[in-house]
Structure 1
Amino acid sequence: MEIVLYVAGIVFMLIGLGLSIGLHEVGHLVPAKLFGVRVGQYMIGFGPRLWSKRIGETEYGFKMLPLGGFISMSGMYPPSKSTGPASGVFRSLIQDARAANDETIAEGAEDRVFYRLPVWKRVIVMLGGPLMNLLLAVVIFTVLVSGIGVQQGTTTIASVNECVVPASSTATECTSADPPSPAAEAGIQPGDVLVSIDGRPVSTFAEATAIVQAAPGETLDMVVRRAGEEKTLSITPIAAERTLTDASGQPVLDDAGDPVVKEVGYVGMGAQMGYVQQPLTAGPQLAAENVSRVASLIVTLPVRLWDVGVSLVTGSERDPNGPLSVVGVGRLAGEVAATDAPVLNRFAILLSLLGSLNVALFVFNLIPLLPLDGGHVVVALWEGVRRVWAKLFRRPPPAPVDATKLVPLTVVVAVLLIGMGALLLVADLFNPVKLLG
């Protein structure tokens, strides 16, 4: 059964990746067609064609390697002028790129080419793909935190400590020297549901904890619901050194990574954990936090890749927040699906992985280098700058930017991307990230 669940997790992530790539290309396809550009192909994957069907002027299909996708737009660059035989590797690459570009310009559709679009329309077409991934990430995170919820302490009491022991103590049982806990003295019982404290309604255990911690030595009225009836209890938090925790019950850490211990009000009760639905604004906020995190990773990518290489050679543990290949993401999805946890917990983690994957696709494609979408945006913006400059100085409009001249740089970037992918693939096979320990 564990193997079946492991495979199911991988399949879930592969389907999610396929949908993410497909919608990314839809983000390019729809505005391109709306702006009148002739689109010859819409393909998911690379390599040999597995299946395709022509609808109108566009061929839709799938290829063998599901590692990306593309649409073939007519006239991405201006048509090349007649030149003689190419000499040199780079000149040959440029000429080949121009020839391939010329082949996309169909006879009779010379006016339906990408390079003739206004700059703002070209930017929209190229940003459409990454923005589709960002939108998908927002939807996924919204479903995750507002539909399923975030695991937090609820207002239902799970346990009541009989006594108070120091935060540094390792004792598991009370002794006669230990004072009874305020919660036990007040008569709070497991199963009680907190309604209000000190006249303030509480909807999460974190809200109740904040009120208690801020009132050491003060007697508070605590309203609980027990067996369908509300009871008012009096409770006096004592001042005690406690490890601070966040809303999900995890210890708050300082800059050195150590738990933060502080003298606060304490009553000695614990909450049942459950999924607490968040406002609809929480999904976009979580997506924005992920964008910031991935952008930081991209900025430090060379260092991160070096660390991956070192861990691969030495066998040391990899950074769980470092870059992964598709294989690495699949392995994590399989481990999550096969772990011994409630189904909802596993599904929530899988959704989180898929949302993070879409954020990564969004940020990575915005890198301002060809062949990535960000590179095409830079080319379009550069042409816009040249046109504005010519207009300011009353010069003739400049010729469209011939991006095929950047083919040598594009090849270098492509080789680096392939090398990065190969390194991460090998690392994920032989020294994978252990998310679950």
Structure 2
Amino acid sequence: MEALAFVIGVVLMVVGLAVSIALHELGHLWPAKKFGVRVGQYMIGFGPTLWSRRIGETEYGVKAIPLGGYISMAGMYPPSPKQVSAAASGHRSGKAGGGFFATMVQDARAANDETLLSEDDDRVFYRLPVWKRVVIMLGGPVMNLLFAIVLFAILLSGIGIQTATTTVSSVSECVIPSESARTECEPTDPQAPAAAAGMQPGDVIVAVDDEPISTFAEAAALIQASPEQAISITVERDGETLTLPLTPVAVEQPVLDARGQPVVGEDGEPQTERVGLAGIRQEVDYLREPVWVAPQMAFERVGAVAGIIWQMPVKVWEAGSTLITGEERDPNGPLSIVGAGRLSGEVAAADAPVLNRVAGFLELLAAVNIALFVFNLIPLLPLDGGHIAVALWEGIKRVWAKVFHRPPPKPVDATKLVPVTFIVVVALIAMGAVLILTDIVNPVSLFG
């Protein structure tokens, strides 16, 4: 059953990613059609087409590899002068001299020219005002951000955050030695301090040693800090306030770091500490947050992801180096879709209530959409941020010409940036391959 749950979690992540991509491309499609641009295709995925249907002038379809998507807009770049120049020079219009990158530029221009009906075609992207082009290209990332906010709203305001309350859910009858594997009490086991003090399930802890507490964590910290010391526990029971004397028993427990992992000493052995134990368990409840907390959390995550994205080459290098060194990976570092799928599988297969697993999946999918939002705003082609940067540069040139009473500049020919685009694509593929390999060989795990 655990293996089946893991597979279901991976499948859910693939479906969630496909939905995220579909929404991203819709964010481009809707304003493009609103502004009159001809859109030839709306495709989810890459590779062979599994299904498609033409509605009006646009073909909508799904492809075999759900790792991306695209819409094809007419005139993403200004038309090239290849027809005129080729005729004047006697060269064939399909080739370009000057080497590999020059050929790439020519091929990009040729592919773009095929989307133009004529030189007077007005339903093209490059003829739009700058602000409309920015809106179209921003539409995709913004849809991912909005989807993340919706997911966080479902998580925080619909399901709620699992929180340990100050209500006692159960009281242990005895103290079982930590080295013992049994769970049942034996006659020789000492009575648990909470049971000896008369605590009962349903008691609400309001103070420890006369210090008011608002969370169970505060109560636990005060109890743990008082091994074999007489303290008082103030509880509310059936409308009454009772003060119970309690002496926590001293036990040894591992020292944990901020990530919940055991701290190892210089001798290689796990470090332990002496703490107090009362023998009570807290009641867990789901506390719902106001709806405005969802966008707040989304923007906090945007800042965190942006801090990783601008260091992406370094972070990928660090992750890839663990393949050689065998060191533990940074759990806050970048992941590939393989890594996200593994985490989703772990969440689905976890030994936890179904609601907890649903909440974990929603948080993971929201994080993926935050990453898509930030990543696509990087101002490099072929990413959306690159197209936005080109549009803004053209807008700056137009304002400059207007201020200094110069002729309007020609549209910026982004096909000249194809060599840069090629380098960016190769870098993205290389970093993606390193992350995928690392996520297979040395994956990040939610549970250590």
Cα offsets for 1:181-201 (capped at 9, x unmatched) = 7x8898542222468999x99
Equivalence for 1:244: none
The answer (yes or no) to whether the contact 2:207–2:233 under 8 Å persists in 1 is no
Equivalence for 1:33: 33
Does 2:375 align with 1:364? yes
SS at match of 1:432: coil
Equivalence for 1:105: 116
Within 5 Å, give how 1:253-264 maps onto structure 2: none
Quote the Cα distance in structure 2 between the aligned partners of 1:387 and 1:414: 30
Equivalence for 1:418: 429
Does 2:240 align with 1:231? yes
Instruction: Normalising by structure 1, report the TM-score.
Output: 0.81
1:314 to 325, 332, 336: 325
Within 5 Å, give how 1:212-227 maps onto structure 2: 223-224=236-237
Equivalence for 1:51: 51
Across the two proteins, how many residue pairs are aligned to each other? 413
How far did 1:269 drift? 6.3
Distance 1:149-1:196 versus aligned 2 partners, 3 A rule: farther
Equivalence for 2:286: 275
Gaps of 5+ in 2: 186-191, 225-229, 248-254, 264-276
Distance 1:140-1:186 versus aligned 2 partners, 3 A rule: same
The answer (yes or no) to whether the contact 1:332–1:435 under 8 Å persists in 2 is yes
The answer (yes or no) to whether the contact 2:344–2:361 under 8 Å persists in 1 is yes
SS at match of 1:83: helix
The answer (yes or no) to whether the contact 2:165–2:284 under 8 Å persists in 1 is yes
How far did 1:271 drift? 2.4
The answer (yes or no) to whether the contact 2:155–2:359 under 8 Å persists in 1 is yes
Equivalence for 1:137: 148
Within 5 Å, give how 1:171-190 maps onto structure 2: 188-190=199-201
How far did 1:273 drift? 2.2
The answer (yes or no) to whether the contact 1:212–1:237 under 8 Å persists in 2 is no
How far did 1:282 drift? 2.0
Equivalence for 2:189: none
Distance 1:234-1:335 versus aligned 2 partners, 3 A rule: closer
SS at match of 2:408: coil
Does 2:409 align with 1:407? no
Cα offsets for 1:111-149 (capped at 9, x unmatched) = 011111111111110000000000000111111111111
Gaps of 5+ in 1: 164-169, 174-179, 239-249, 259-265
Quote the Cα distance in structure 2 between the aligned partners of 1:416 and 1:435: 28
Which deviates the most, 134-143 or 332-341?
332-341
Within 5 Å, give how 1:117-196 maps onto structure 2: 117-158=128-169, 188-193=199-204
Q: For residue 364 of structure 1, what is the amino acid of its counterpart?
A: F
Quote the Cα distance in structure 1 between the aligned partners of 2:52 and 2:258: 54
Equivalence for 1:83: 85
Instruction: Normalising by structure 2, report the TM-score.
Output: 0.79
Distance 1:328-1:268 versus aligned 2 partners, 3 A rule: closer
RMSD of aligned alpha carbons? 3.9
Quote the Cα distance in structure 2 between the aligned partners of 1:251 and 1:194: 26
Quote the Cα distance in structure 2 between the aligned partners of 1:24 and 1:291: 17
Q: For residue 313 of structure 1, what is the amino acid of its counterpart?
A: I
SS at match of 2:85: coil
How far did 1:251 drift? 8.2
Which deviates the most, 277-286 or 389-398?
277-286
